[in-house]
């Protein structure tokens, strides 16, 4: 509360003095933000130890049962196979591997995730690289035009997508989202990239669970349409997939497992945040334009609302989340609690100026309100309550930038994440 009053005070003072800086304006209709440091019994959490052992688990449990849904844990039986190696990827700058991660379900059925791992061409074969891990929207072949990358055979939405015919990718689909994955720029800076098609885990439509991991890996002993109301939705399934890929990267000889940075754009930004909150192996968590149900504060009632999410994408969150449609004030948390779950790791919130639907200011404020949790670890989070001007990254353990432009991922965004990433 004190922090909120102080932040509004700073905003007001700076509004009068700075013309270049955009200043936060909380929606007057929006209700106050719940304090992440007041625990279930109404007591104040005052140490990092209490946060780690009691409060963080309590918060994750709430997000699990009310929003993203409970997911199964690690898979008891899994296997990694190298399906393809290209030692001359990016004109010899990089090495590309296609790894098939085979997850065996209790029923005996095997579910495969096709991971593309690209690392710089090393001087020694076993050199370990920090890696950016993120799911893609378009199949691995869609992130770079190289004809050697296997074309995904999975279902893809046909509408508005160049090169997708009858919900399947064709050769014309290669590299369609290459601008969002500037591989050369990333490799040149000494990082690797791991990615998989999000549809490898679950197709993104309301019946997607039928062929995805939610029909195979049980929660409370149940799968598919028998899943309880607090069990995983599609975002939970995609996030769980990121952790299963991490299981493989953790033992992969060219990956520095202490420096795997999980990232995602839009719905996959929501996914990256949830994966990063649950799985502390991710050293940095990056949300790009994740908006409502991701980094943006729901109680601001700006841009997309919970009712929009649940109506248009009823499969994304757990069934319990539907009771909050039009009732953001009833949520037992807000999204700054999710950001706080990354502490003491790095979290990067990236917004875009022309992306009102994702409420860029609300994304920033989630970082502001998560700050007290980072302070328990003696870390500076954003270190400011002023919404920065465009193209002006700010922060420390919580970083933020407002890119000029529309809902997208650009090389500017990557440049900032790479600057922030511990090497
Ligand atoms: C829609 C949706 C957003 C989502 C976005 C995306 O706009 O309303 O919540 O982030 O799609 O994933 O592209």
Element (H, E) at 271: helix 267-278
**What residues contact residue 228 under an 8 Å CB cut-off, 6+ apart?**
219, 220, 222
* Predicted pLDDT at 83: 97
Residue ID of nearest Cα to ligand 1 atom 7:
357
User: Kind and range of the H or E element at 168?
Assistant: strand 168-169
Report yes or no: 280 and 301 within 8 Å, Cβ to Cβ.
no
Query: Rounded to an integer, what distance in angstroms lies between the CA atom of residue 410 and that of residue 180?
Result: 5
| Atom of ligand 1 minimally distant from the CA of 290 | 10
pLDDT band of 25, cuts 50, 70, 90: very low
Ligand 1 centroid–CA 353 distance in Å is: 16
- 266 has catalytic annotation: yes
Q: Which residues face 400 on adjacent strands? A: 349, 394
What separation in Å is there between the alpha carbon of 414 and the centre of ligand 1?
Answer: 20
Nearest alpha carbon to residue 119 among 190, 192, 195: 192
Out of 7, 152, 266, 351, pick the active-site residue: 266
pTM, two decimals, is 0.93
**Please, are residues 194 and 249 in contact by the beta-carbon 8 Å criterion?**
yes
pLDDT at 22: 38
The three-point CA angle 219-221-223 to 5° equals 65
pLDDT exceeds 70 at position 174: yes
In terms of DSSP bridges, do strands 164-165 and 398-403 run parallel, antiparallel, or are they unpaired?
unpaired
User: Ligand 1: which atom is nearest the Cα of residue 267?
Assistant: 12
H or E element, residue 183: helix 183-188
Looking at residue 19, its pLDDT comes to: 31
Substitution candidate for ligand 1 out of 160, 198, 267 with most atoms within 8 A of CB: 267
Mean pLDDT along residues 405-418:
98
* Cα 269 to averaged position of ligand 1 atoms, centre (Å): 10
Q: Give residue ranges with CB within 6 A of ligand 1.
A: 266-267, 291-292, 304, 309, 357
**pLDDT (tens digit, 9 = 90+) per residue, 60-90?**
999 999 999 999 999 999 999 999 999 999 9
Tokens in use for 373?
């949790």
* pLDDT on residue 13: 36
Residue 397: active-site member? no
pLDDT tens, position by position, 118-140: 999 987 878 999 999 999 999 99
As a whole number of angstroms, the distance between CA 58 and CA 40 comes to 8
Structure tokens that stand for 121 in this block? 């061409």
Average pLDDT over residues 232-248: 98
Report the pLDDT value the prediction gives residue 295, as an integer from 0 to 100: 99
Confidence band for 159, pLDDT divided at 50, 70 and 90: confident
Q: Average pLDDT in the 109-116 region?
A: 98
What is the percent of the chain with per-residue pLDDT over 90, rounded to a whole number? 90
What integer best gives the mean pLDDT of the chain? 93
Whether 251 shows a pLDDT value over 70: the answer reads: yes
Structure tokens at 170: 């064709």
- Mean pLDDT over residues 185-214, rounded? 98
Confidence at 31, pLDDT banded by 50, 70, 90: low
Catalytic residue among 78, 205, 325, 407: 407
* Beta strands, E only, 236-372: 255-265, 284-288, 346-352
């Amino acid at each position: 509360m004190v922090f909120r009053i102080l932040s509004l005070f700073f905003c007001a003072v700076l509004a009068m003095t700075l013309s270049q800086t955009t200043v936060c304006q909380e929606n007057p209709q929006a209700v106050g933000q719940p304090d992440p440091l007041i625990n279930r019994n109404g007591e104040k959490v005052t140490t990092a130890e209490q946060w780690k052992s009691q409060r963080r688990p309590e918060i994750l449990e709430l997000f699990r049962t009310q929003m993203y849904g409970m997911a199964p844990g690690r898979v008891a039986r899994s296997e990694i196979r190298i399906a393809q190696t290209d030692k001359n990827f990016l004109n010899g700058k990089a090495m590309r591997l296609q790894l098939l991660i085979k997850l065996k379900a209790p029923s005996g059925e095997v579910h495969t995730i096709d991971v593309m791992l690209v690392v710089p061409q090393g001087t020694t074969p076993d050199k370990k690289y920090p890696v950016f891990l993120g799911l893609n929207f378009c199949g691995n072949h869609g992130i770079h035009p190289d004809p050697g990358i296997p074309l995904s055979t999975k279902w893809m939405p046909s509408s508005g997508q160049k090169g997708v015919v009858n919900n399947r990718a064709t050769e014309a689909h290669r590299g369609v989202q290459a601008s969002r994955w500037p591989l050369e720029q990333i490799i040149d800076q000494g990082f690797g990239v791991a990615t998989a098609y999000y549809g490898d885990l679950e197709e993104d439509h309301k019946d997607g669970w039928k062929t995805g991991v939610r029909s195979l890996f049980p929660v409370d002993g149940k799968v598919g349409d028998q899943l309880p109301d607090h069990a995983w939705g599609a975002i939970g399934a995609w996030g769980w997939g990121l952790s299963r890929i991490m299981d493989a990267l953790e033992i992969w000889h060219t990956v520095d497992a202490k420096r795997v940075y999980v990232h995602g754009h839009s719905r996959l930004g929501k996914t990256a945040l949830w994966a990063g909150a649950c799985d502390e192996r991710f050293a940095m968590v990056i949300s790009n334009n994740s908006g409502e149900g991701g980094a943006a504060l729901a109680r601001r009632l700006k841009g997309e609302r919970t009712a929009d999410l649940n109506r248009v994408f009823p499969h994304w969150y757990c069934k319990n989340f539907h009771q909050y449609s039009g009732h953001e004030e009833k949520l037992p948390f807000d999204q700054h609690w999710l950001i706080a779950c990354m502490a003491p790791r790095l979290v990067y919130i990236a917004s875009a100026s022309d992306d009102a639907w994702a409420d860029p200011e609300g994304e920033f404020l989630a970082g502001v309100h998560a700050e007290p949790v980072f302070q328990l670890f003696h870390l500076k989070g954003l270190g400011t309550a002023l919404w920065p001007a465009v193209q002006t990254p700010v922060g420390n353990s919580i970083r933020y930038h407002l890119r000029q432009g529309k809902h997208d991922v650009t090389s500017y965004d990557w440049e900032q994440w790479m600057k922030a990433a511990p090497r």
